Structure 1
Amino acid sequence: MAPTGGPRSPDKRPRDSDDSGSDGDSDSDCDGGLVSDLREIVCLLRLIKGGANRDGQKMCQQIISSVAADIQTMLEETQLKFEKERENLLKVLSNTSKEQCENSLNEEYSKFQETYDMFCREKDVHMQTFRDLFSEVEVEKKKLLEQYEHHKKTETTMLSALDKTFSEKITYAEQSVRRMKKVHLAHIR
């Protein structure tokens, strides 16, 4: 097997099928690409190791094993670093979102409370205005009833006076008619 210049070995994993250890999160695409590249390098080094000549093979294997181990260590450290950074970012985002949510809720509650207080004050003012108007209507109603009663008494008094006057005039007219009849009868006899 030739280490360089030949066609790619079927054992080599293609880039698209890499398993970066992430759960497929969209924010792990960048570090997933890096992890994929590092794994590909490790794979190539193993292929080189397997295809090395028998002469000095042990020394080459040691060098390649050392480089592969260093790369594997770097890969694991990088992966741990990315995971810690991701966890820290999630914590910060979570806390920030929670604080923003609490601040928004507090602001909205303050606005609601202010509006409610204003409504209560205006309601009290409107209720007092209604009570004042109702009192004025009651006072006017009482005045109108008193005027009506006074007018009724005045009418009754006037009607009584007219009745008395009419009765007196009728009585006077009857007496005048009787006198005239007597005078008239006295002239006829």
Structure 2
Amino acid sequence: MPPRNMQPELTLLAKMKQGDEEAFVALYRQHKDAVYRFALLLTGSHHLASDVTQETFMHFLSRPGQYDPGRGTIAAWLCGVARNMARKDARSREDATDPEELEGEGYAAHLLADNVTPLDRILKDETAELVRRAVAAIAPHYRDVLILCELSELSYAEAAQVCGIDIGTVRSRLSRARAQLADRLGRLGVLTTSAPAKEAVQ
């Protein structure tokens, strides 16, 4: 049986499946900011993140039956859909994307988040571009768990659901991702010490 705190969402989902548009709108409002923030960190582009978010919720609207409550939360499932959409868009638009587009977007100036996360506070200052570059430079399979667990604040179990791996692998990849990020930020001068990297690999 799903956790009790999932029951309100599952009630909305059941109404949505019956054609209740207000139920879909309620779920959209509840999760859109987290999905957008996740997509933004994956793509590094506001334009692409908006597209991925829209595609994710269109997929949800048209295929709500694909979500299985027994496998995790709606939030984690939506992040999984967004991850797939971002990868598909990256493959289809790689040759057509102008690199200068990413430079001029002001990476975190228009984050659509109601709640400020630790990363939001970093991305809103002058180090935003350096942090974006450091996150983007991490190997994709490490970057995914870093964004999910540290930056999107999903649980290890939810990150495992999104990535299709076990929790032990999530922990291992997250440790390496933290070390890589701390090292890159240290070399860029964003961090003044490499202590976080040492702590992360213990």
TM-score, length basis structure 2:
0.26
Structure with bigger helix share is 1
| More RCO (CA 8 Å, sep 6+) | 2
Query: Quick check: which has more Rg, 1 or 2?
Result: 1
TM-score, length basis structure 1:
0.28
